[in-house]
Amino acid sequence: MALDETRPFPQDNERNLGTSRLPWYLIGTIDATAAGADSTLGVAERDFITTNALVNAVSIAPPTSMNALEVRFALTTNDADVDIEIWACRGENEMKRIITLDVICGQQDYTDTTHHFAQTINLSNEKWHSGITAISDDDDTMALLLIKDTHGYDRFLFHGFGTFDEDCIVEVSGY
């Protein structure tokens, strides 16, 4: 079927199914000193208000229009390694751990050139409705983490712990 050039493309004010083109949002930097001295969250720490106050945690409350999250990480040194667990919650009540990440830095420059994107994201302990995918090739290209559906959870917290070689920048986009 040929393109009908007489039929105009839909305008932005018409109803269309589309994918948002959102920028990357810096949600914060996880402090290496605090993360390296911490372990996975204990039962008493699993509420959003308490944990969000930690310097080794950053969080996002995505807008309702953002149903899937893409996450990228940046560090300063090639092969630097950090451990991050991601928690989800509704409101400010108890949180649910959805996955644990082992993030390894590569050499592709981040926007400020003193940091580099993570090239590897290894996944473990995944407990999420529709799955979480890491897109990483271990070849000095930017690795991405994809949370395919937020399932109505309105807050996501990234908690650094255990092996944490240096501060880690966390950025989120989505659609």
Sequence-separated (6 or more) residues with CB below 8 Å from residue 58:
27, 28, 29, 30, 157, 158, 170
DSSP state of 2: -
Q: What is the C-alpha to C-alpha distance for residues 170 and 127, in angstroms, rounded to an integer?
A: 21
Sign of CA dihedral 65, 86, 146, 132: negative
- Could you tell me if residue 50 is left (phi over 0), alpha (psi between -120 and 50 degrees) or otherwise beta? alpha
H/E run at residue 113: none
Q: What is the pLDDT of residues 17-75, one digit of tens each?
A: 667 778 999 999 999 999 999 999 988 888 888 888 999 999 999 988 889 999 999 99
SS3 13: coil
Determine the average pLDDT of the residues in 71-100: 94
% of the chain residues with pLDDT over 90: 70
Per-residue pLDDT, 138: 82
Q: What is the pLDDT of residues 126-163, one digit of tens each?
A: 999 988 999 998 889 999 999 999 999 999 999 999 99
Per-residue pLDDT, 154: 92
DSSP state of 94: B
Q: What is the DSSP pairing of strand 116-124 with strand 96-109?
A: antiparallel
> Residue 1: which pLDDT band, with cuts at 50, 70 and 90?
very low
Q: What is the C-alpha to C-alpha distance for residues 57 and 53, in angstroms, rounded to an integer?
A: 7
Per-residue pLDDT, 9: 47
Res. 79: pLDDT tops 90: yes
> Residue 7: which pLDDT band, with cuts at 50, 70 and 90?
low
* Residue 91 contacts residue 68 (beta carbons within 8 Å): no
Residue indicated by tokens 């001295």 = 37
* Residue 139 contacts residue 46 (beta carbons within 8 Å): no
Per-residue pLDDT, 18: 65
Q: What is the DSSP pairing of strand 132-135 with strand 57-60?
A: unpaired
